[in-house]
Structure 1
Amino acid sequence: MKILFVADGRSPIALNWIKHFTQTGHEVHLVSTFPCQPDLKLASLHIIPVAFSGAVGETASRSGGAAYCERSPPPVCAPLSGNG
């Protein structure tokens, strides 16, 4: 099963849940709200900074596997077209 966690990647509680699912063979992706480098076999790791995290413009890095880290761009909003 593919599982996406959106959590503080430094949180011991989140890390325990993530560890459980990676150890039971699931494909686990983490979107962390703070920079982190968990020592887990993640399919991917993305950092999306939240207000006051001090992480604007930073990226996390980790070694091993095919996992990757990157800072996701902000969402783009466009006006709806057409006659309502």
Structure 2
Amino acid sequence: MIRSALTEIGVFLIPFAVYALFLVATRSGLLATSSWPVVIIGRLLVGSLLLVLVSLILLAQFSGAPPDSTYFPAHVENGRVVPGVER
């Protein structure tokens, strides 16, 4: 669960990192407040939210077991734990 949360946080931060790299490449003031106007931050925020939304939709669409599969939960056989499987 933590891996998927960190992945989504990383996806959210991508536009901000790209803009920061752009500021470094153009030798603008990375930490100057004039380089981070509210309009730019708003656009980066909207872009970030769209990226997260698309990544969540793709995750839901292309991950997990096939629709007709059956889940067999973990159980104990001969004193050993057998992990759950999808069949």
In the superposition, the TM-score normalised over structure 1's length comes to 0.22
Larger strand fraction of residues = 1
In the superposition, the TM-score normalised over structure 2's length comes to 0.22
